[in-house]
Structure 1
Amino acid sequence: MKSHASTLLAEVRTFRQNHPDVRYVDLIALDIPGHFYGKRYPIEMLEKVAAGSPLKLPQNAVLLGAQGGLFKIGDYCFNDGDPDANRRLVPGTLKPVSWESQPLGQMLITSDGTEAPIEFEPREVLAKVLERLQHKGIHPVVAFELEFYLFDKKLDNGLPQFARDPLSDDADDQPNLHIERLSRFSEVLDDMAQTAKDQGIDITVITAEIGPGQFEINFGHLDDGLRAADWAALFCRSTRGVALKHGYRASFMAKPYLQYPGSGMHVHVSLYDGAGNNLLAAHQQQPLRHAVAGCLELLPHCMPIFSPNSNAFRRLGGTVNAATRASWGFEDRDACVRIPESDPRNLRIEHRLASADANPYLVLAAILVGLEHGLEAKREPIAPLNEDRSSGTDFPLEMLEAVRAMHHQPVLRDKLGAEFVDVYCENKRQDHLAFQQEIHAREYRWFL
């Protein structure tokens, strides 16, 4: 413990030496809907926390709805006295914030690793899954890919406007995959990539996607699943900030346009043993087939995680590379679970179903639980799409149905934690009901 504190203290002191103009640091963590909450600490107080002073925030901050409100979930929020819970600093995450008008720092905090972790905190849920896999001799290597849209900074009566082409000042309203789009928006994209690297994130490939103003960023492969999810979360925060600095609005919303492709969160996962052997490639890739079967079996019950809001379900409407059934295939982007071509050492799955605005900690936890379940159950998967284009099993396409499918699933309750499943399902149910409490103009046109 003393060694841990000295490492953190050294990190804070080095940061202060390198950034003497920074007076405050945002201590941040991801809540259930995938938004950051936290506190802004004077840099002097952060040094005291690093040295061992308590760091406490309300436990129920994790339970915030999509709009920041609290829902009554069991005894939480309104019958528990709104207690504080201990958090700790995540080593290696103290970085400068370059997109604000004033010098600032930020650092991740979490309850995992404290004496009383919050069972429904997303990072703690993933930490428990990874710890269990490690005890079983299973070591995941993970890489995220995130799609997002650029819009004009100003909304038009609340609706997004196409991003302006910096060269022509015209709206970038044409769907394409042209490399020229990367050149036209290079100033903001380069700043996004450099800012991410300044946060310690390994940015690799940048792609112009099909939708107008749509891009994809790939991250490097990591043998630390928590850090991989940290990267995805922090990238969303920095990218939104950089976009605003350049006069744009960056959004990871799953389906901002009905007529154009949605934005997804693709996750590559391979599994290794302690000696570095690829577990999925053993015995003529039979474990790969078992792992796929486990993913597909649990996928319909994980839909509130993969599609965490009403808009995310719109993305599953049959547009480009967006599956509407649980399926798999080799080198097939229409499948939920794609097996990219690779050598045995790098054999992996690519899970393509989650929306870009899903919680990366929970998405990865759900994928790993599916793989774990498959390796234990050792069942054969359904036919791949390469053999049968109609192969697949149905999954819920609406939030309340999805919540019902998740709530009582025994494997998820066991491997993700019953308390988490209860809290998460009720949070999503109430968020969905709150979203319905507004009459839109179309209802008057149809029913008045």
Structure 2
Amino acid sequence: MKSHSSTLLAEVRTFRQNHPDVRYVDLIALDIPGHFYGKRYPVEMLEKVAAGSPLKLPQNAVLLGAQGGLFKIGDYCFNDGDPDANRRLVPGTLKPVSWEAQPLGQMLITSDGTEAPIEFEPREVLAKVLERLQHKGIHPVVAFELEFYLFDKKLENGLPQFARDPLSDDADDQPNLHIERLSRFSEVLDDMAQTAKAQGIDITVITAEIGPGQFEINFGHCDDGLRAADWAALFCRSTRGVALKHGYRASFMAKPYLQFPGSGMHVHVSLYDAAGNNLLAAHQQQALRHAVAGCLELLPHCMPIFSPNHNAFRRLGGTVNAATRASWGFEDRDACVRIPESDPRNLRIEHRLASADANPYLVLAAILVGLEHGLETKREPIAPLNEDRSSGTDFPVEMLDAVRVMQQQPIVRDKLGAEFVDVYCENKRQDHLAFQQEIHAREYRWFL
């Protein structure tokens, strides 16, 4: 514990030396809907926390709904006295914030690794899954890919407007994959990439996607699953900030346009043993087939994680490369689980179902649980799409059905934690019901 505190203290002191103009640091963590919450600390107080002083925030901050409200979930929120819970600083995450008007820092905090971790905190859920896999001699290597849209900074009647082409000042309203779009928006994209790198995020490939103003950024493969999910979460925060600085609005909303492709969170996962052997390549890739079968079996029971809101369900089956059923295939982007072409050393799955606004900690935890289940049960998967284009199993496509299916699945409850599953499903059910408590103009047009 003493060496851990000394490492953190050295990190804070080095940061202060390198950034003497920073007076405050945002201590942040991701809640269930995937929003950051936390506190802004004077940097001198951060030194005391790094040295071992308690860091406490309300436990129920993790339970916030998509709009920040609290729902009654069991005894949480309204019958528990709203207790504080200990958090700790995540080493290596103290970085400068360059997109705010004033110099700031930010640092991740978490309850995992404390004496009483919060069972339903997303980072803690993933930490428990990774710890269990490590005890079994399974070491994941993970890479996220995130799609997002750029919009004009100003909304019109609450609706997003196409991003303005900085060269012509015309709306970038044409769907395409042209490399020229990367050049036209290079100033903001380069700032996003450089800002992410300053946060310690390993940014690799930038792609202009099919939708107008849509882009994808890939991260490097990481042998620390928590760090890989941290990168995805922090990238969303910095990218929104950088976009506003340049006069745009960046959004990871799953389906902002009905007529154009949605935005996904694609996750590449390979599994290795302690000696560095790729477990998925074992026995002439039979282990890969077992892992795929496990993923597909549990996928319908994790839909509230992969599609965490009403809009995310709109993305499924809508246009290009969005699956309508739980399926798999070799080099097939219509599949939920794609097997990219690679050598045995780099053999991996690409899980393509999650929306870009899903919680990266929970998405990765659900994927790993599916892989773990498949390796344990050793079942053969359904036919790949390469052999049968109609292959696949149904999954829920509406939130209330999805939470019922998830809450009743014993394997998911066991491997993700029963307390987490109950809290998460109730949070999503309440959020969905709250979302429906508004009469839209179309209802009046149809039924008045």
- How high is the TM-score relative to the length of structure 2? 1.00
1:51-98, CA deviations, whole angstroms, 9 ceiling, x for partnerless residues?
Answer: 000000000000000000000000000000000000000000000000
> 1:167 aligns to what?
167
* Counterpart-to-counterpart distance in 1, 2:408 and 2:74: 16
Q: Separation in 2 of the partners of 1:98 and 1:108?
A: 16
Residue-by-residue CA offset, 1:230-283 (whole Å, 9 max, x unaligned) = 000000000000000000000000000000000000000000000000000010
Give the CA deviation at 1:408. Answer: 1.2
Give distance in 2, aligned partners of 1:391 and 1:74: 40
Tell me the distance in 1 between the aligned counterparts of 2:431 and 2:391.
33
Aligned equivalents of 1:92, 1:299: Cα separation in 2: 33
The 3-state SS of whatever aligns with 2:44 is helix
Q: 1:436 maps to what in 2? A: 436
Residue deviations 1:132-184 (CA, integer Å, cap 9, x gap): 00000000000000000000000001000000000000000000000000000
- Secondary structure at 1:302 match in 2: helix
Counterpart position of 1:377: 377
Q: Distance in 2 between matches of 1:413 and 1:312?
A: 23
Residues 391-437 of structure 1: CA deviation (Å, up to 9, x unaligned): 00000000000000000100111000000000000000000000000
The 1-side partners of 2:167 and 2:222 are apart by 37
What TM-score results when the alignment is normalised by the length of structure 1?
1.00
Measured in 1, the distance between the counterparts of 2:151 and 2:105 equals: 27
Question: d(CA) in 1 for partners of 2:170 and 2:80?
Answer: 54
Partner Cα separation in structure 2 for residue 259 and residue 253 of structure 1? 14
Measure how far apart 1:115 and its partner are.
0.1
Asked if the contact 2:23/2:43 (under 8 Å) is kept, the reply is: yes
Tell me, yes or no, if the aligned pair for 2:316 and 2:323 is still in contact at 8 Å.
yes
1:105 Cα shift?
0.2
For structure 1, the residue ranges without an aligned partner over 5 or more in a row are none
Cα distance in structure 1, aligned partners of 2:447 and 2:3: 67
- State the Cα distance separating 1:318 from its structure 2 match: 3.3
After superposing the two structures, state which structure 1 stretch, 309-318 or 388-397, moved more.
309-318
> Which whole-Å CA distance do the structure 2 matches of 1:316 and 1:139 have between them?
31
Runs of 5+ consecutive residues of structure 2 not aligned to the other structure: none
SS of structure 2 residue aligned to 1:293: helix
Contact (CA 8 Å) 2:261, 2:318: kept in 1 or not? no
CA distance in 1, matches of 2:413, 2:309: 21
> Is 1:310 matched with 2:310?
yes
Divergent runs of 4+, >4 A:
none
Mapped partners of 1:211, 1:229: distance in 2? 25
CA distance in 1, matches of 2:14, 2:117: 29
Conservation of the 8 A alpha-carbon contact between 2:71 and 2:77: yes
Aligned length in residues:
448
Deviations 1:18-38 (A, max 9, x none): 000000000000000000000
CA distance in 2, matches of 1:432, 1:237: 24
Counterpart-to-counterpart distance in 2, 1:317 and 1:249: 26
Distance 2:439 2:67 in 1: 17
- Matched residues in 1 for 2:356 and 2:400: separation? 21
RMSD: 0.3
The alpha-carbon deviation at position 108 of structure 1 amounts to 0.1
Q: Which whole-Å CA distance do the structure 2 matches of 1:321 and 1:360 have between them?
A: 20
Q: For the Cα contact (< 8 Å) 2:140–2:270, is it kept in 1?
A: yes
CA shift, 1:317, in A, is: 3.0
Distance 2:288 2:317 in 1: 28
CA distance in 2, matches of 1:317, 1:308: 16
Could you tell me the percent identity over the aligned residues? 96
